[in-house]
Amino acid sequence: MQSRYSLNLGNPFGIRVSVHWTFSLLIAWIVFVSLNRGLGIEQILMHIVFVLALFVCVVLHEFGHSLVAIRFGGKVESITLLPIGGMANLSKMPEKPREEFLVSAAGPAVNVVIAAILWLYLAFIHPVKVSDMEFETITISNFPLMLLAANLFIVAFNLIPAFPMDGGRLFRSALSMKMSRLKATTIAKDIGQIFAIIFIIAGLFINPFLIIIGFFILLGAKGEHQMIKYQDILDNYTVKDVLTEDYSNLDAEDTLGEAAQKLVQISDRGFIIKSEGEYAGILTKNDLIKGLSSHGKEGKVKEVMSRDIKSVNSDMPLFEAYVELRKSGYDLVPVIENEKFKGILDLENVNEFLLIQKAIG
């Protein structure tokens, strides 16, 4: 959810925080509903401020997950704000059941702390009489109480055992203490999908955002379950088990016209590029097509090849390399060992290897 579709808000604790462009749709929806209710400008602005304050709480919730994950050796690349909430992009999640349980619990725990601070404020610093308040709109007087209630709602909603929500992860981690992670994930996924269907149906009558959340759960649960299945297979192998040493190569000084002619004659999806006999980069089909458009047939391979593709080691666990390969956006990555080029890891080959291992059972 990063890139040009998101606005970067900063990098606290080394974690990139951004807001996705679709967040503006939530603000537009709030304005639209408020105008239909006949609210004035000041009331509409107060509703917008409340939503922004609530999403600050959401960011803190995600930092709760992220910082505990980092404490246990996890890797967090970013936190993105979406209309349905926040999403922490963990490139490496702690897998021990106890650690996953604590990571999952940390987010709701942050909201409990926020609610407790607001309660102390209302109880001892700025006492209020709830019976004298009106709650049809957000006002300065009811703002802290409404924010307290919203944080408690976030806690309750996130603890619903709908994988991959926090409650579903807590449930999965508890199951993982008694059974394999794959079996625990399968059970958590099935229960999560039941809740997803309930959300979608409820969204048709209550709030359309529940429909979005329902589909998010359906797709998220299916995707993560698939990755756990892959991990269960690939963790038993290393990169060297699928390393491709038979590859097509070009010289960095070759022209794009020569590369295009060679590509037509072979079935490969790219080339290994060498310069003075040493590995220099990779030329994918997309690189070649873009290069022909911008440089013509006489352009040099070295002008358009990809030099900065992150390499993998032949002894790296295959699942870890598979994750890196998918993240890279390339179908091919170089395998480098002791600064020597050993071959390539091909996404298509890994997928074929997966299919074979699944068929063998």
Pair (18, 120) in one structural domain: yes
Specify the pLDDT at position 115: 97
Q: What's the pLDDT tens digit per position in 80-97? A: 988 878 888 887 778 899
Q: Is residue 210 part of a domain?
A: no
Contacts of 234 (CB under 8 A, 6+ apart): 317, 318, 319, 322, 350, 354
Q: Is residue 208 part of a domain?
A: no
Rounded CA-CA distance 156/162 in Å is 12
Q: Is residue 216 part of a domain?
A: no
Pair (8, 152) in one structural domain: yes
Rounded CA-CA distance 324/327 in Å is 5
CB atoms within 10 A of CB 162: 30
Pair (129, 244) in one structural domain: no
Q: Is residue 283 part of a domain?
A: yes
Specify the pLDDT at position 22: 86
Pair (243, 351) in one structural domain: yes
Q: Is residue 285 part of a domain?
A: yes
Mean pLDDT by 10 residues, the chain (361 residues): 71 90 88 89 92 94 95 89 84 85 96 97 84 78 92 94 93 94 94 94 89 91 91 90 84 88 72 83 86 90 86 89 83 85 87 87 67
Q: Is residue 165 part of a domain?
A: no
Specify the pLDDT at position 4: 62
Which of 159, 192, 210 terminates a domain? The answer is 159
Q: Is residue 205 part of a domain?
A: no
Q: What is the pTM of this model?
A: 0.81
Domain range for 103 is 3-159
| Packed helices 41-71 and 23-36: angle between N→C axes, nearest 10 degrees | 150
Contacts of 179 (CB under 8 A, 6+ apart): none
> What is the count of structural domains for the chain?
2
Specify the pLDDT at position 195: 94
Query: CATH no. for residue 264?
Result: 3.10.580.10
Pair (144, 24) in one structural domain: yes
Nearest to 230 by CA among 192, 185, 193: 185
Pair (155, 243) in one structural domain: no
